Amino acid sequence: GHHHLLIDTEPGPPDQPIPSDYNHIHLGNGQTEVVVTLPKGRHTLQLLLGDYTHTPHNPPVMSPKITINVR
């Protein structure tokens, strides 16, 4: 599997693939970091592990959600 960075969103249905868009960054090439540019304000970040089809594991493997403030 690989990580997906969720930005300002909640994990979706556990039996559905994780989308690939601004709010769902796929780290499927073995990346250990990613640079994102966020507008000023509060944002939430969370990591969610998905399988090769981008579907979350059962049970879900995810980090706690953190809140950051971009100045």
Tens of pLDDT, residue by residue over 29-55, are 888 889 999 999 999 999 999 999 999
Say how many CA atoms lie within 13 Å of 43 toward its Cβ: 16
Q: Angle at the Cα of 51 (from 9 to 47), degrees rounded to 5?
A: 35
Burial class (CB in 10 A: 0-12, 13-18, 19+), 4: buried
pLDDT at 31: 85
49 located within any domain: no
pLDDT at 32: 83
Domain that holds residue 16: 2-40+54-70
16 located within any domain: yes
Number of domains within the chain: 1
47 located within any domain: no
Helix, coil or strand: residue 58 = coil
Tens of pLDDT, residue by residue over 8-37, are 999 999 999 999 999 999 998 888 889 999
Under 8 Å between Cβ of 45 and 33: no
**Whole-angstrom distance, CA of residue 25 vs CA of residue 67:** 17
19 located within any domain: yes
For the entire predicted model, the pTM comes to: 0.92
